[in-house]
Amino acid sequence: MNSNKTLKKTLNIVCPFVLGGGILWWMYRETDFKEMEETLLHGMDWGWMLFSLVFGVTAQMFRGIRWKQTLEPLGEHPRTMDCIHAVFISYASSLIIPRSGELSRCGILSKYDGTPFLKALGTVVTERVIDTLLILLITAAVILSQVTVFDSFFGRTGTNLGDILQGFTTTGYIVTAICLVITVIFMWLVMKRFTFMTKIREMMNNIKEGILSLRGVRNKWLFVLYTLGIWGSYFLHYWTTFQCFEFTENLSFTVGIVSFIVGSISVVVPTPNGAGPWHFAVKTILILYGLTDTDAITFALIVHTVHTMLVPLLGIYSWVALNARTAPMKKV
């Protein structure tokens, strides 16, 4: 039993690295890295690159401040800097185990401020829902304004929704629906038989309380402002890097927002910081807008690598700051 758990944990860590590494190898297998090294050392403006890192920091800070705001209606008042530190550490931990950040930041706040883990987790779920809705709205607007480009993108990547849907017959849809219903019923029956069902209900209630906390936020416009600050910072974090290279400095705002959106969607694939899928998505969009293959993959690799280096630095800083400040509080 323990060996199975160990194997599962190992696969959860190894598989994302293998997937991301495989995509990167496929993309860069024929790349002349000497030419890329020349661009890195002598062909880019490091002032703009360092400036872009400022927005990487502000995006995470806004997220920490907004998180504190969603916790207040639950009667939880953690320190603002502890919320920010928890967010910094969460991004760093996701580099090791993709998607672990949500859990780690709730654990940090529970450890250092005594905020109940499940309440904190509920507010994180709320955040993710809000962010997903926002990015979907922006994506819809961008797609409508750039239909031709996205049609070319899906063609190049071999993604054709029509072909996928045509592969399903009426019987196929019915069978799929039945399987989903049976799966849900089976899971419900299994959970109902567990003796710790009461604990599960308590856990779900805590999460539900956290999710509904948005209704009690005192200043909803401030919440909206923080949300815009998060995504505005993410975009500037990316877009300012266009000024680092001669081959991207004259690209339009439209190219920036389209490639940003496609890159943001691509990180849904569970690899460390989107490595692999992000490179492929951004490279493809930039090529569609006129960049050469060499320039596009050079931009993607350098920008992603430098921005990723910021993440563990912030995580280490926050870990040191939290441990130097005070002893942890007991979990409640």
pLDDT at residue 174 greater than cutoff 80? no
Residue 332: pLDDT band by 50, 70, 90 thresholds? very low
Instruction: Phi first, then psi: give them for residue 245, nearest 5 degrees.
Output: -125, 145
pLDDT digit string, tens, across residues 310-330 = 999 999 999 999 988 755 554
Every domain of the chain and the residues it spans: 39-325
In this prediction, residue 158 carries a pLDDT of 52
For the chain, give the percent of residues with pLDDT over 90.
35
62-66, 95-99, 203-207, 272-276: which has the minimum mean pLDDT? 203-207
In this prediction, residue 168 carries a pLDDT of 46
In this prediction, residue 152 carries a pLDDT of 64
Averaged pLDDT for residues 226-240: 96
pLDDT digit string, tens, across residues 23-38 = 888 888 888 888 888 8
In this prediction, residue 196 carries a pLDDT of 46
Averaged pLDDT for residues 80-105: 90
In this prediction, residue 274 carries a pLDDT of 85
Higher confidence at residue 265 or residue 149? 265
In this prediction, residue 204 carries a pLDDT of 57
Instruction: Find out whether 242 and 253 touch, Cβ atoms under 8 Å.
Output: no
Higher confidence at residue 246 or residue 4? 246
pLDDT digit string, tens, across residues 189-228 = 555 554 444 545 555 555 555 556 667 777 888 999 999 9
Averaged pLDDT for residues 120-147: 82
In this prediction, residue 139 carries a pLDDT of 84
- One-letter-per-residue 3-state SS of the chain: CHHHHHHHHHHHHHHHHHHHHHHHHHHHCCCCHHHHHHHHHHCECHHHHHHHHHHHHHHHHHHHHHHHHHHHHHCCCCCHHHHHHHHHHHHHHHHHCCCCHHHHHHHHHHHHHCCCHHHHHHHHHHHHHHHHHHHHHHHHHHHHHCHHHHHHHHHHHCCCHHHHHHCCCHHHHHHHHHHHHHHHHHHHHHHHHCCCHHHHHHHHHHHHHHHHHHHHCCCHHHHHHHHHHHHHHHHHHHHHHHHHECCCCCCCHHHHHHHHHHHHHHCCCCCHHHCCHHHHHHHHHHHHCCCCHHHHHHHHHHHHHHHHHHHHHHHHHHHHHHHHHCCCCCCC
In this prediction, residue 171 carries a pLDDT of 52
| Average pLDDT value for the chain | 80
In this prediction, residue 244 carries a pLDDT of 95
| 10: number of Cβ within 10 Å | 10
pLDDT digit string, tens, across residues 262-271 = 898 888 777 8
Which range has the top average pLDDT, 132-141, 204-213, 233-242, 318-327? 233-242
